[in-house]
């Protein structure tokens, strides 16, 4: 088959691949079509493109890999999970519980789009247990209104992905925003439900997030050691501080009534995280957590532990001093946020993610069309006036995916050789040096 190159400007690569193609054709003793003259063959060859393979960023993870698919106004969305260990009890109810927390139309402060987001497990689960094969999950779209996006097909929404998708691909799914829609996160939340269940089963790890800020309103009096899922789900804004929660709800309603939007902050706390997850250099645990969090729609900031406030402290003020508690090394404070040197230290992992105001608003704004003409746009459609209440399960899911991925990697690297096995190897080597038969000789 003819090879293609996506970047016609890269002439050197194109020429090299073209030469390789010609060599391949000659090796197989193939001949050019005799009906095409030499000049025409050269003209075609000069225009021939070579396909340079590249990642398309729809897959996340190393050992626990998740690929999401689908678009906001397509037939459905979902994910494929690869690398989940076999024999984990799992059913659609486990996933649905998390998807219901993410779904639209759940309160007056979220988008009015009505979707049940009922999930179907298509593969990878047999008799209520994972089989070790890829787990495919599908959620069908039901309540699309593509006509609401007629204006956006011509004019770019300010601060939305409309323009950049056109810059990159030259084509985009206008209705619902396509892959840039938060509806893509359904696959993440479904996969995150599996990751959370695996973390709980193996290590007793708990991943909980809550809304800590909406616009300029901050939550107070939240004990990060004690707040529960029930506390978070007690109100529609998902803030475990009731007084702050009501102020946040009032703020969101105010901007919603004006056709505006506002942003906020989600705080995520991970309890009972095993020590040793992460790596010293490029795969630092906080680096992977940052990438995971910042891959979510509308994210603009990430902090772990003391975050940016730590830059204004002295070393003696910031350092987490060690002490012993029941034979276990602990830290008196947790300004490191549960990660030191890129590796978890057993303390709570505490991160904060900032979300910007929703881009699509009903306020008239200046913009340009695809043809470069300046115009005005008042966007239509159904959108969240503030994304953070529904972002809570999304953040939990991405954090859980990172932790379970590192848990599997850590077991593969550091969990194979037990202390007993190492001791046996040492005995075997000692016997080999003495010339005597090994105590492990004949062992299978």
pLDDT digits (tens, 9 = 90+) for 271-295: 999 999 999 999 999 999 999 999 9
User: pLDDT (tens digit, 9 = 90+) per residue, 151-171?
Assistant: 656 788 898 888 888 888 888
**Arithmetic mean of pLDDT, 335-357:** 98
Q: Once rounded to an integer, what is the mean pLDDT over residues 115-126?
A: 94
pLDDT at 405: 98
Mean pLDDT score, 182-187: 92
Greater model confidence, 136 or 44: 136
Confidence label for 440 from pLDDT (cuts 50, 70 and 90): very low
Provide the pLDDT for residue 322.
97
Least confident of 48-52, 278-282, 335-339, 432-436: 48-52
- For 32-47, letters b (16+ CB in 10 Å) and e give eeeeeeeeeeeeeeee
Please say if the pLDDT value at position 236 is more than 90. Answer: yes
Structure tokens at 349: 């992992």
Mean pLDDT value of segment 383-401: 95
Q: How big is the CA angle at 80 (ends 143 and 279), to the nearest 5 degrees?
A: 125
Cut 0.95: pTM above it: no
Q: Is the predicted pLDDT of residue 18 greater than 60, yes or no?
A: no
Tell me the CA distances in angstroms from 42 to 22, 33, 35, 48, 128, one per residue in order: 12, 13, 14, 10, 60
Looking at residue 16, its pLDDT comes to: 47
Residue 260 has pLDDT above 50, yes or no: yes
CA 283 vs CA 56, 113, 301, 402: distances in Å: 20, 39, 19, 11
Is the model's pLDDT at 71 over the cut of 50?
A: yes
Confidence label for 29 from pLDDT (cuts 50, 70 and 90): very low
Q: What is the pLDDT of residue 343?
A: 98
- Which of 187, 230, 189, 183 lies closest to 210 in space, CA to CA? 230
Question: Tokens standing for 15?
Answer: 């020429």
Query: Can you give the pLDDT at residue 213?
Result: 98
């Amino acid at each position: 088959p003819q090879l293609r190159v996506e970047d016609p400007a890269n002439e050197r690569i194109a020429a090299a691949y073209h030469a390789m193609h010609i060599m391949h054709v000659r090796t197989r003793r193939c001949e050019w079509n005799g009906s095409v003259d030499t000049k025409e063959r050269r003209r075609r060859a000069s225009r021939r493109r070579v396909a340079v393979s590249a990642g398309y960023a729809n897959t996340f993870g190393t050992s626990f890999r998740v690929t999401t698919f689908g678009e906001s106004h397509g037939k459905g969305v979902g994910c494929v999970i690869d690398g989940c260990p076999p024999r984990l009890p799992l059913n659609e109810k486990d996933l649905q519980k998390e998807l219901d927390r993410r779904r639209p139309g759940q309160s007056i402060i979220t988008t009015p789009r009505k979707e049940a987001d009922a999930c179907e497990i298509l593969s990878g689960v047999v008799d209520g247990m994972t089989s070790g094969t890829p787990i495919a999950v599908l959620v069908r779209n039901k309540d699309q209104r593509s006509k609401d996006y007629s204006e956006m097909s011509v004019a770019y929404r300010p601060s939305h992905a409309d323009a950049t998708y056109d810059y990159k691909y030259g084509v985009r799914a206008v209705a619902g925003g396509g892959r840039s829609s938060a509806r893509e996160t359904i696959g993440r939340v479904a996969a995150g439900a599996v990751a959370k269940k695996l973390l709980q089963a193996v290590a007793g790890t708990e991943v909980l997030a809550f809304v800590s800020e909406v616009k300029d309103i901050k939550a107070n009096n939240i004990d990060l050691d004690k707040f529960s899922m029930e506390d978070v789900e007690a109100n529609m804004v998902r803030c475990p501080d009731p007084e702050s929660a009501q102020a946040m709800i009032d703020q969101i309603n105010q901007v919603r009534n004006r056709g505006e939007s506002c942003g906020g902050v989600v705080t995520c706390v991970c309890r009972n995280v095993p020590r040793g997850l992460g790596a010293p250099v490029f795969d630092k645990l906080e680096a992977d957590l940052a990438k995971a969090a910042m891959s979510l729609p509308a994210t603009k900031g990430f902090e772990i532990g003391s975050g940016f406030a730590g830059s204004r402290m002295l070393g003696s003020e910031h350092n987490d001093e060690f002490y012993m508690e029941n034979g276990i090394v602990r830290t008196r404070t947790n300004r490191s946020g549960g990660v030191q040197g890129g590796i978890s230290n057993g303390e709570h992992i505490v991160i904060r993610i900032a979300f910007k105001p929703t881009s699509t608003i009903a306020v008239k704004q200046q913009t340009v069309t695809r043809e470069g003409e300046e115009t005005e746009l008042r966007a239509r459609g159904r959108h969240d006036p503030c994304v953070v209440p529904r972002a809570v399960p999304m953040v939990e899911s991405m954090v859980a995916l990172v932790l379970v991925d590192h848990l599997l990697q850590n077991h593969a690297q550091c969990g194979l050789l037990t202390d007993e096995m190492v001791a046996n190897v040492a005995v075997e080597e000692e016997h080999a040096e003495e010339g005597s038969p090994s105590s492990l000789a004949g062992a299978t």
